[in-house]
A and B are shown apart, each in its own frame.
Chain A
Amino acid sequence: MNTSALTSMTTVAPVALPAKNPMLTRTGWAAFIIALIVVCAVAPVLNLWVPEGSMFHMSTYAVALLGKIMCYAICALAMDLIWGYTGILSLGHGLFFALGGYAMGMYLMRQIGTDGNYKSNLPDFMVFLDWKTLPWHWTFSDSFMATMMLIVLVPGVVAFVFGYFAFRSRIKGVYFSIITQAMTFAAMLLFFRNETGFGGNNGFTDFKRILDIPIATPPMRMVLFVLTGLTLLGFFLFARWLISSKFGRVLQAIRDAETRVMFSGYNPIGFKLTIWTISAIMCGVAGALYVPQVGIINPGEMSPANSIEIAIWAAVGGRATLVGPIVGAFVVNGAKSWLTVAYPEFWLYVLGALFIAVTLFLPQGIVGLVKKWKGSRHDA
């Protein structure tokens, strides 16, 4: 009835409503396809088929490094969904990364079988602690399928429960950041203890096989590299889809004016909880891909500094852009792996300076800078 009132008031000429934003632009899709080809075809060929002496050969070191950085990029992407778009800064995403990593690590430990130092069926650290049987939480660790499920479920459930109480209590802003930081720190202390059954401060290492196939061979490394690349690209598309839906716009609305969202009839708790859990699961999957590639997982991954670094990657690349945090993860970690070799003592200073510089001079990050540069070129 309101509709007719409005119609009679103004003689309505049809308004041209803007066309729906596509998930990706044409150039976006082109870049996506190129990335897909590089990951699935170019990298394997350069690494496995081009002979080692050739200048086009991709070294095993490069494969390992890029594989690792792609895992970090998934975390940065996950951070962008929760921080860049929803405005909730998590300083505990390292926990979800580590939980996924530990779930994978448990499976890899069981895959060692009796080839460990003690030639026992139990993982070495348990023999060392004089344990006779597997603890209850290792029950499903010999099943690859169960492990795949745990990689999603454990970070997902932990995030859901934590998020439910935090968001229901309307904990916001810096208070939320601080408790996420406390959460990962508490988990780190717990995992450091031998009796928790996660290998104490040494964590898990010396992996031998995955799905009964030797893990440290070049083809296996390449398989893991391609899987990681596909996961990153898949998550990117998924994130794009989420953000270009109305759900994504509600997230941004929560970031900008949460009370208005509530008075528009949306319950922000459900939206925050959904994106928070999705974000945590992404990190968990990244952790699970990371562990077989670097060959170790220990409680150090849960240290507060690691979680803060994820936020730095997102900030450097450019928040609320999805591509930015991925770029940020590559730039920062590329610089890190070069600097820690060339000038090891300077890395932390550089990281700190980078964070300050980005906050002061590049609030939109690298992507923002590129956009600005493109814009000014168009104006000229």
Chain B
Amino acid sequence: MTPDLLEEGAKRLEKVRQAATEGKTESGGRAAGFSRVAQAGEVDVTHGRILYLEEVSVSFDGFKAINKLSLDIAPGELRCIIGPNGAGKTTMMDIITGKTRPDAGTVFFGSTIDLLRYTEPEIAQLGIGRKFQKPTVFEQLTVFENLELALKTDKGVKPSMFFKLDSSQGDRLGEVLHTIHLADSVGRLAGNLSHGQKQWLEIGMLLMQDPKLLLLDEPVAGMTDEETARTAELFLTLKGKHSLLVVEHDMSFIDTISDIVTVLCDGSVLAQGTLDQVQADERVIEVYLGR
């Protein structure tokens, strides 16, 4: 490589950094999407999409759980997914997080990261957090320890042995504790929390990871009305800074938080639009709401 090419490259890199600091994330401050310098570990959302699924299919013993599913999410969007049981909602999350490998199709995080090439822990470190349908926390550890484990930091073996919580991390932990209303339970074992509190703790663990995209599988199941309202409030604050993909059955909850609702059925998208629009859709009524 000739020196002037190197120089050219350095200039471009500088330009990209500048654009990023000015907060021009959607288009990177450029008119067109070419001659872009990709940076390692950076999620490229210059094309206006943080997650693309295209023609994804997966079958288990001949049963097509996901059938040519295409879906995309914009940065900062809060997308709700509904659908009858067995529509493939959880399987879709399994595919995005690397738990299940699809038989066909592509899954991209931003424009540059092919998620099918990464393992579950790597995908988590890239910035995709996931909450399970059944609240999954470390029951034998305290609330504090649960959050500390989730904290975004070097998660190798040796760094874990010598890990010490610094004061800014401690502050962050304190904030999350407030957000999830568990500040009074720092020292309690997670196994002794109520169902709703476990849900909150798991959401708190996601926040500690500081993910760019959050996948939430039935986040308000088993919560009281008050807890549900607080969760809605929290999700609305997260929207804009994070992208959220929420699978829920609770229609009033969806009504509170959603812009666009996607209806899944038999492993592919049946309808998409505002909640009112999809609720008025004949096909949706037939397969799901009407029953």
Count of A-B residue pairs with CB < 8 Å: 127
Pick the contact of A256 from B121, B140, B142, B144 — CB < 8 Å?
B140
Q: Name the residue on A nearest B146 (C-beta).
A: A253
Is there a chain B Cβ closer than 8 Å to A260's Cβ? Answer: yes
Decide if A167 is an interface residue (CB 8 Å cutoff): no
A342 at the B interface (CB under 8 A):
no
- The answer on a CB contact under 8 Å between A263 and B173 is no
Whether a CB of chain A sits under 8 angstroms from the CB of B170 is yes
Over the window 256-273 of chain A, the binary record of Cβ atoms lying under 8 Å from chain B Cβ atoms (1 yes, 0 no) is 110111111111101100
Q: A17-B174, A266-B121 given as contacts; is B156 within 8 A of A256 (CB)?
A: no
Query: Any chain A CB within 8 A of the CB of B138?
Result: yes
B138 A256 Cβ-Cβ under 8 A? yes
Q: How many residues of A contact B (CB 8 A)?
A: 39
Which residue on chain B has the smallest CB distance to residue A242?
B161
Would you give the 0/1 interface string for B157-173, flagging 1 where the beta carbon is closer than 8 Å to chain A? 10011110100001111
Once the chains bind, are A246 and B177 in contact (CB under 8 Å)?
A: no
Given known contacts A253-B138, A263-B130, A6 and B205 CB-to-CB distance under 8 angstroms: no
Write out the residue numbers on chain A whose beta carbons fall within 8 Å of the beta carbon of B125: 265
B209 at the interface (CB under 8 A from A): yes
Least Cβ–Cβ distance between A284 and chain B, in angstroms: 21
Q: Interface majority SS on A: helix, strand, loop or mixed?
A: helix
Write out the residue numbers on chain B whose beta carbons fall within 8 Å of the beta carbon of A245.
160-163
Residues in A neighbouring B122, C-beta threshold 8 A = 267
Contact B163–A264 (Cβ < 8 Å): no
Binds A, one of B61-69, B179-187, B254-262, B269-277: B179-187
> Given the complex, which residues of B lie within 8 Å of A266, measured CB to CB?
121, 149, 155, 160
Interface assignment of B148: CB less than 8 Å from any CB of chain A = yes
A117 in the interface (beta carbon within 8 A): no
A260 and B138 contact, CB distance less than 8 A? yes
Interface contact B179-A10, CB-CB below 8 Å? yes
In contact, B173 and A270 (Cβ under 8 angstroms): no
CB distance from B224 to the nearest CB of A (A): 20
**Most chain A CB within a 10 A radius of its CB, from B122, B144, B171:** B171
Q: Is the CB of A264 within 8 A of B205?
A: yes
What CA separation (Å) do A12 and B186 show in the bound complex? 15
Given the complex of chains A and B, what is the CA–CA distance between A270 and B124 in angstroms? 16
Q: For window 204-245 of chain B, which residues contact chain A by CB distance below 8 Å?
A: 205, 207, 209-210, 237-238, 241-242
Q: Does B119 touch A at the CB level, under 8 Å?
A: yes
* Chain A residue with Cβ nearest B143: A18
Please tell me if the beta carbons of A263 and B141 are within 8 angstroms of each other in the complex: no
- CB proximity of A73 to chain B, nearest CB, Å: 24
What are 22 A-B contacts defined by CB distance under 8 Å? A3-B175, A5-B237, A6-B176, A10-B178, A10-B179, A13-B178, A14-B171, A17-B144, A17-B170, A17-B174, A18-B144, A18-B186, A245-B161, A252-B138, A252-B141, A259-B136, A260-B136, A261-B149, A263-B130, A265-B125, A265-B155, A270-B156
Nearest 7 A-B pairs (CB), nearest first? A15-B174, A265-B124, A262-B120, A246-B163, A247-B160, A267-B121, A247-B161
